[in-house]
């Protein structure tokens, strides 16, 4: 089946999703309060309770991740009938799992945790210790989802890079760039699971995430510029 306007439309949609997703994720992360040490719950909760943009920033992050993964899976889906079929199908499976984990993460972090820290901040002194412990319990659930979400996203991008390389749909350097970012996010996920939102976890996850944002934009541009090919 030859490519044509339909292939170009699909490329336009996937590229638009990738770029819009990258912008939304960047904006959401930029608006997230980050002055206090996230591993210092007392200081971090006070900062979170005072943040008026909390819900917007976290929903922007969720929308950004969702759009980026959807755009990537649209590209990978076109490879599911060729030599990259195995890696493409695995990418789709792990991509769906990473979207589910990201949604669960923002349900806990973007909604539940904010409700708990607001209740703690507004409570009378006698009620603060119990509410703080309750918020801390929600925080630990967030840590778990953050770790799993990062690991799943890292594996998804690694598999996508393998599929793209096998199908010769992008330059080798772009696959290597995406793989490097994915490994950083993957290591950050493991570090988060072991140490929470520690400096070590952030040192791996933040650069890895930045590299993935760059990779996503470059992938969008290259995929859009490709000539329609036979499916």
**pLDDT digits 0-9 by tens, 105-149:** 999 999 999 999 999 999 999 999 999 999 999 999 999 999 999
Query: Across residues 51-75, what is the average pLDDT?
Result: 95
pLDDT at 1: 37
Confidence of residue 76 (pLDDT cuts 50, 70, 90): very high
Question: Is 229 within 8 Å of 7 (Cβ atoms)?
Answer: yes
Question: 6 — alpha (psi -120 to 50), left (phi > 0) or beta?
Answer: alpha
Q: Tokens 């696959």 belong to which residue?
A: 175
Mean per-residue pLDDT over the chain, rounded: 90
Confidence of residue 4 (pLDDT cuts 50, 70, 90): low
How is residue 9 written in tokens? 């439309």
pLDDT at 10: 67
Instruction: Give the burial class of 126: count Cβ atoms within 10 A of its Cβ; 0-12 exposed, 13-18 middle, 19 or more buried.
Output: exposed
Query: Across residues 12-37, what is the average pLDDT?
Result: 92
Query: Across residues 184-206, what is the average pLDDT?
Result: 94
Confidence of residue 229 (pLDDT cuts 50, 70, 90): very low
Question: Is 142 within 8 Å of 111 (Cβ atoms)?
Answer: no
- With 60 as the cut, is the pLDDT of residue 101 above it? yes
- With 90 as the cut, is the pLDDT of residue 193 above it? yes
Confidence of residue 2 (pLDDT cuts 50, 70, 90): very low
Distances (CA, A) of 28 to 21, 52, 84, 186: 10, 13, 34, 21
- With 60 as the cut, is the pLDDT of residue 3 above it? no
């Amino acid at each position: 089946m030859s490519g044509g306007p339909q292939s170009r439309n699909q490329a336009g949609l996937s590229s638009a999703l990738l770029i819009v997703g990258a912008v939304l994720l960047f904006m959401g992360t930029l608006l997230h309060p980050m002055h206090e040490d996230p591993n210092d719950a007392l200081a971090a909760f006070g900062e979170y309770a005072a943040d008026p943009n909390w819900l917007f920033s976290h929903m922007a992050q969720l929308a950004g991740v969702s759009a980026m993964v959807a755009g990537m899976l649209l590209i990978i889906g076109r490879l599911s009938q060729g030599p990259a079929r195995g890696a493409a199908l695995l990418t789709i499976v792990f991509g769906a799992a990473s979207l589910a984990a990201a949604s669960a993460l923002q349900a806990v972090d973007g909604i539940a945790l904010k409700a708990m820290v607001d209740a703690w901040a507004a409570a009378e002194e006698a009620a603060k210790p119990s509410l703080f412990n309750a918020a801390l319990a929600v925080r630990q659930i967030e840590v778990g989802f953050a770790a799993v979400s990062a690991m799943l996203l890292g594996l998804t991008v690694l598999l996508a890079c393998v599929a793209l390389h096998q199908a010769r749909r992008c330059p080798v350097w772009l696959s290597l760039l995406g793989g490097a970012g994915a490994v950083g996010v993957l290591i950050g996920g493991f570090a988060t699971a072991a140490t929470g939102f520690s400096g070590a976890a952030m040192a791996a996850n933040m650069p890895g995430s930045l590299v993935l944002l760059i990779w996503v934009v470059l992938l969008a541009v290259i995929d859009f510029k490709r000539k329609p090919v036979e499916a």
